[in-house]
Amino acid sequence: MKELKPIGVISTPFKTKKDIPCQGYKSKKTGTIAVFKKYTQGLKDIEGFSYIWILYLFHKAEKYKPLVKAFLDTKLHGLFATRYFNRPNPIGMSLVKLIKRKKNILTIGEVDVLDKTPLLDIKPYVPKFDYRKNAKIGWLRGKL
């Protein structure tokens, strides 16, 4: 198995987990992603996208539990039916607004990530690929 290595660092105003909004679409905050210079060429043409998926390491995660209480409910749910951060492989993902790029620095909006989070990958958001009409949302139904 290939080892995952950060490709950059995400900087945000959120210094503690309790400061982070529950989802990025609720956030008015901006942040930056400093992609390590050796990966700068991989950012070519990213400016043409208004949103990007960022995958990152939940670097402050602790031991995972198979059942967790999610922020929108008081009942226990299976970890994999939530976006809870304490996971066997502590990988997070967020959809963020791409505001601008200057060389290897991306300015992002609608951010919901802890400051100094290691970035694992970036992928463009493509509505035709990423949106599914009539998708079921399980236990979240009626809570959003």
CATH number for position 17: 2.40.30.70
Least confident of 2-6, 32-36, 98-102: 2-6
* Range of the structural domain that residue 21 is part of: 8-130
Residue 59 domain flag: yes
Residue 90 domain flag: yes
Residue 49 domain flag: yes
Query: In 10 A of CB 59, how many CB atoms?
Result: 13
- Lookup: tokens for 95: 């959809």
Query: pTM for the whole thing?
Result: 0.90
Which DSSP string corresponds to 16-53? Answer: SGGGS-SSGGG---EEEEEE-GGGGGGGTTGGG-SEEE
Per residue in 72-85, pLDDT (tens digit) is 788 999 999 988 88
